[in-house]
Structure 1
Amino acid sequence: MDLLNQESKSRAKSEFQAIILSGMGSQLGPLIASHGDDPTPKALLPVHNKPLVSYGLSWLEEANIKEALIVCPPSHVAPLTDHIQATSPNLKVDIKAFEPDMDGPISTVSILRKIANRIHSDFVLLSCDFVPSLNMKLSSLLNMWRVDMTGMVAASLFYEASDEAQKRKGKPPPTVTYREGDILHVSYDNEKQAQIPMHLLTKFGTCRMTRKLVDSHVYIFKKTVLDVLPLVPSMKSIKKDLIPLLCTLQYSRTKRRELSNVLVHPESITTAENVQEKGSISLMTALQYSTTQSLEIKKTAHVQRPQTPTPAGKAPWGSSEDSSEGNSDSEPEEEDPVFVPSLRCGLIIQKRSKDEICGRVDTLASYREINLSLLREGSLDARGGRDGIDPKAQISTNSAWADSSRIGEGSVVARSSVGQHCVVGKNVKIINSIIMEHVEIGDWVKIENCVLSRHTKVGEKTQLKDCESAPGAEIKAGASYQGVSLDGTEKANIVLGDE
C-alpha cells in the first residue's frame, strides 16, 4: 500500500483550492465574437479539438484537487456550466460571474478581493487559457511548495519562451531577477536597460537576470496573502503589483515588518522569550526563518541559540535581514524581540523542450502556435475514426479530426485539425489550419494557415491564406483572401462575394 501517495492525496483535498480566471479574450480577435445570441467563451475555444479550459481542469484533477472556483463574464456562466457538468463530474466547480462596479474597472486583484470570502485554504490561481506541457505535473509543483519552499508566501510559474514567441512583435517579456528557487524582482517596464533596487543587490549580491522567461499566470498563494489586499487599495494587477510587492519582503525589513503580522499566523512566530526558554529552535522553524537554506542546516536537528549579544547595528539573530550602510530598509535598528520569517517568494521555471509545448492561449498568434504544436505531438486522443472519411482522402499523421466530421474524395488535410460536425467537400486542401466545429467547406477550396471559427461557411473554389473568421462568417464562392480577418456581418459577406 502506497501510504505516502494516500497521504498526499488526502492532504490535497484540504490544503489547496483552485481559482480559475476566465476573461473575455479580447486579444483573440474574431474568434471570440458571438454567433447571434450565442456567446463564444474564450474558455471553450477548441485547442487540439478539446475546450481550452479542459486542460486546466484536467491538470487540477491529476493533482487530486477537488474544489475549484471559476470567475467569468456573466454571459459565459451558462455555457461553462453545461460543459463542466458533462466533462468534470469528479471536480466540485463553482462558477461566479464578475461585473464592473462603482469601484472602478475589473482587475485581477479586484476579483480576488471580491471572492476572498470564498477562499478557505492556500490556493492555486491560474488562467483558463494556460496549457501545461505533458511533463509539467501540478502535483510536483505542490510538493515543491510543501517540501522545498519552506517559508513561502507565494510562488510563480514561469516558462521559457519558444523560438516563435521570441520572434513575435509585441510586449516584451518581463525582466526577472532571481536566484535558485526565489524570484527577487520582476519588472514589466519596456526599457532596454532593466533597473533593480540597490537594496536587493546589497542584500543578495550575486543574482541572475533574464528576459527569456514568460509569466504563465499560474501562482500558488498562502491564504493570508488575501489579508494584504485591503491594506493596499491602489493595487490592481497580480503580476504587476501583488507579486512585486511580495518580492520586496525578501530584502526590505520595513515592508516585512509591516506585513509579517498579516502574512504569518501569530502562533507560528517565535519570540526571543520562547527561544530563551526552550534553548533551541526546531529544524523546520530555523529553515522557515532563514532566507538561505544550506544543506548543512538541513542535516542538523536543532540550531542552538547563540549566547553572545547581538552587535549594535546588526539584525537580531534569526532575522533574515542584514544591515547595510546607506540603505533605508537596512539601517541599524533596535533588536526586535520577534524573529520575523523570511516570507520568501518562490520561482518555478519550466524548461522548454522541442517535443513539448506549454503556454498561454491569449492571442491569435499563440492560439495558432499551440494548436499546431500539439498536432506535432500527434496525440491519438484527438483523432477520430475513418467512417466519415472518403477512402481517397489523405490525412497526415500529424492531423486531428472528429468522428462526426465528413471529409470528401480527393481532399488533403495536412498538419491541421478538423472539429466536430464539419463537412469538407471534394478536392479540398487544408494545410496548417484549425477548423472549429460545424464548419462547411465547398469543393475545390484551398485553406492555408487559417483559423475558421464555428459555423463558418466557405463557398466552392475559394482560396484563403493567413486568415481567421468569426463565428458564422459566410465566404461566397470564388473569393480569394490573404491576411484578412473575416467577420460574419451581412455587409462583409457581400463584399467578399464581389471581390
Structure 2
Amino acid sequence: MGPQCQAVLLAGGAGASLFPLNHTGNPLALFPVANQPLITYALHTLEQAGVVDVLVVCLGEATAAKVMAWVKNKYSGKLRLKARSVPEDCESADALKAVAEDITAQTFIVMSVDLVTDVCLEAMLAVHFLRNATVTVLLSQRRVSPASETKLGKAPKDVEYVGLDGESRRLVFFRPSPEARRNIKLPMGTLLRQGCLSIRTDLQDNHLYILDRSALALLQAKPALANIKQDLIPYLVRHQHSSGKAASAVRPDSGGPAANGQHESTGSLAATESMEQITLACNYMSMSHSAAALDDSAPGTSYCAAYVAGPEQYCARTVNLQSFSEVNREVVNLELAARLGVQAQPNAKHDNFVDESVQIGSKSTAASGCMVGPGTTLGDKCSIKRSVLGAMCKLGSNVKIINSVLMDSVVVHDGCHLQNCIVCTGAQLQERVSLRDCQVGPGFTVSEGAEHREEVLAKAQQQRRSTDAKT
C-alpha cells in the first residue's frame, strides 16, 4: 500500500432519510444490503487496500454502542476498529475536528459508510502519493435519476459542477449540487493557467477522500469549514491558486474577451445545458494574454487530485429509499458481488443467491439476479424477480414479488403482489395485499385485501390513524 495510512469511516447515525427503515433505532451502518450490514462493504474496501487501523465515527453514543456491539459479536475481519461518538448534529468536517487526536497518520482516508464501491482504493492511494496531493477525490459517472432531468435551456438539477484539467488529473473547480443558478463563475487565473478545462455535470462525488494531514490542520484553524464536501473540498480547490491580477473576462459562449472591454477576475459559464456533460474547451493560452497577466497567479502549495472511476467500476451510495433499494438489487450480480465482498454463496447454475436451506414450493421460481436468505420458505406458485429476501421469511402461495427488498422474518400471505417495495423486519402482509412503490416499516401489519400505492406504512402512521378515528 505504500506509506502507512489510517481510515476514518463516517458511520452516520440513525439514517433519518431512510424512514421507516430506521423506525426501531437500527443505525444506518447496520442496515442490510444484500442481507449483510452496510458497513461490511466499506470495511471490505479498506481491507482490500491493506488499511489496518479504522476509526469508526458515529453520530451519537447510542449509535456508537450498537456499532461496536456488532463489531464485538459479528465482525471477524483483519481491521483494527475503534469507534468514537460525536454529537448527533455534527457535520462531516466537524466530526474530523472532534476526533483529530485519534488521527495520527500523515495521510488518512475518509469514507462514508453508505458508499458501496469496487474501486481499487490502493490505486487511488498510489495516485495520491505520486502527485503529492493535499486531497484526492473519488469521482464517478453520475447515476441518472429521471427527476434530475430538465428541459432544454434549463440548468440541470441536483448535479455537481466539476472542473478538471485537460488530462482529468487535477480538480480545478468544484461546486457541489448548487441551487439552480444561471451562471457559474470561474477564476480567470485558473482558466488562463490550465489552457484546457472541462466543466462536467456527468460526474458525482462519492464521499471518499484521501487527505494529507495539512487538511486536518486547516480544519482546526478554520471553524467555518463544517462539511467536507460543501466546505473543505471547495476551499482547497479554490486555494490551489492565489488570486491573480484582474484579467479580461472570457465567456465560453463568446470565444473571446468580454465585448465591453471591462476587466473581471472571473469568467462566467452559463449553466443552461440540460445535457449530461458540459465540456468547455478553454484554450485561452492561445489568446493575446501576455505572461504579465499572471504575475500574481502562481499556484498555491496544495494540489487537489481527481481520481475518476472507469465506467466498469461500481460506485453507489444508499442516501435515500430509492438508492437503498437499487443498491440491494444491483449488488446481487454474481460478478459484482464477488468484487464487493458479498458473503452469501452464489448459485452459478441459476445466476442467483438462493441459500441451500430455502424451501421452495411446487412451481415456484426465484429468477436470476435474486437473493433469498437462509430459512426462508416459498409456498406454491410463487414468483420472485430481481428482488432480495432476507432470512426466515415466509411466503404463502401465489405470491409475486418484483424489484423489491424484504428484510428478515417478513410474512407474506397467499395472493399478495409486491412491486418496487421495501418491507422491513418482522412486517406481515395479510392475504391478497397489493403494494406498489411502498415502504413497510418494522413489525407493521398490512390488512387483508389492502391496496397501496406510493405510501409509507409504519406503526407511527398506524397509531396516528387510530387516534384520528377515536377523535
Same fold by TM-score, threshold 0.5 exceeded? yes
Corresponding residue for residue 440 of structure 1? 411
Corresponding residue for residue 123 of structure 2? 140
Instruction: Give distance in 2, aligned partners of 1:47 and 1:192.
Output: 39
> What are the within-5 Å matches in structure 2 for residues 303-318 of structure 1?
none
Kindly indicate whether residue 290 of structure 2 is the aligned counterpart of residue 324 of structure 1: no
Structure 1: 5+ residue stretches without partners = 1-7, 255-313, 315-321, 332-339
Instruction: Give distance in 1, aligned partners of 2:411 and 2:465.
Output: 15
Q: CA RMSD in A?
A: 2.7
Corresponding residue for residue 304 of structure 1? none
Q: Give how far 1:229 is off.
A: 1.3
Aligned residue type for 1:33: H
Instruction: Give distance in 2, aligned partners of 1:187 and 1:63.
Output: 29
Instruction: Give distance in 2, aligned partners of 1:341 and 1:78.
Output: 43
Cα deviation per residue 1:361-397 (whole Å; 9 max; x = unaligned)?
A: 1111211222222235574544311542224321102
Q: Give how far 1:341 is off.
A: 7.2
Report the secondary structure of 1:352's partner residue.
coil
Give the counterpart of 2:392 among 421, 430, 434: 421
Corresponding residue for residue 358 of structure 1? 315
Instruction: Give distance in 2, aligned partners of 1:89 and 1:162.
Output: 31
Farther-moved stretch of structure 1 (431-440 vs 485-494):
485-494
Instruction: Give distance in 2, aligned partners of 1:344 and 1:491.
Output: 55
> What are the within-5 Å matches in structure 2 for residues 79-98 of structure 1?
79-85=66-72, 86-98=74-86
Instruction: Give distance in 2, aligned partners of 1:447 and 1:97.
Output: 39
Maintained 8 Å contact 2:241/2:300: no
Kindly indicate whether residue 142 of structure 2 is the aligned counterpart of residue 156 of structure 1: no
> What are the within-5 Å matches in structure 2 for residues 14-33 of structure 1?
15-24=4-13, 25-33=15-23
Aligned residue type for 2:374: D
Instruction: Give distance in 2, aligned partners of 1:138 and 1:404.
Output: 36
Find runs of 4+ consecutive structure 1 residues off by over 3 angstroms: 163-171, 375-383, 492-495
- Normalised to the residue count of structure 2, the TM-score between the two structures is 0.78
Report sequence identity in percent.
25
Corresponding residue for residue 206 of structure 1? 196
Maintained 8 Å contact 1:385/1:402: no
Instruction: Give distance in 2, aligned partners of 1:376 and 1:61.
Output: 21
| Distance change (3 Å), C-alpha of 1:391 and 1:143 | farther
Corresponding residue for residue 63 of structure 1? 49
Aligned residue type for 1:108: S
Corresponding residue for residue 63 of structure 2? 76
Aligned residue type for 1:118: D
> What are the within-5 Å matches in structure 2 for residues 239-254 of structure 1?
239-252=229-242
Aligned residue type for 1:250: Q
Maintained 8 Å contact 1:388/1:403: no
> What are the within-5 Å matches in structure 2 for residues 382-421 of structure 1?
382-385=353-356, 387-421=358-392
Report the secondary structure of 2:210's partner residue.
strand
Farther-moved stretch of structure 1 (118-127 vs 203-212):
203-212
- Normalised to the residue count of structure 1, the TM-score between the two structures is 0.74
> What are the within-5 Å matches in structure 2 for residues 98-247 of structure 1?
98-99=86-87, 105-121=89-105, 122-133=107-118, 136-147=119-130, 149=131, 151-164=132-145, 167=148, 172-179=158-165, 180=167, 181-188=169-176, 189-190=178-179, 191-247=181-237
> What are the within-5 Å matches in structure 2 for residues 286-301 of structure 1?
none
Q: Give how far 1:125 is off.
A: 0.3
Structure 2: 5+ residue stretches without partners = 151-155, 245-289, 338-344, 347-352
Report how many residues are paired.
396
Q: Give how far 1:31 is off.
A: 1.6
Larger Rg: 1
Maintained 8 Å contact 2:140/2:204: yes
| Distance change (3 Å), C-alpha of 1:477 and 1:61 | same
Q: Kindly indicate which of the two structures has a greater share of residues assigned to helix.
A: 1
Give the counterpart of 1:47 among 26, 30, 33: 33
| Distance change (3 Å), C-alpha of 1:235 and 1:223 | same
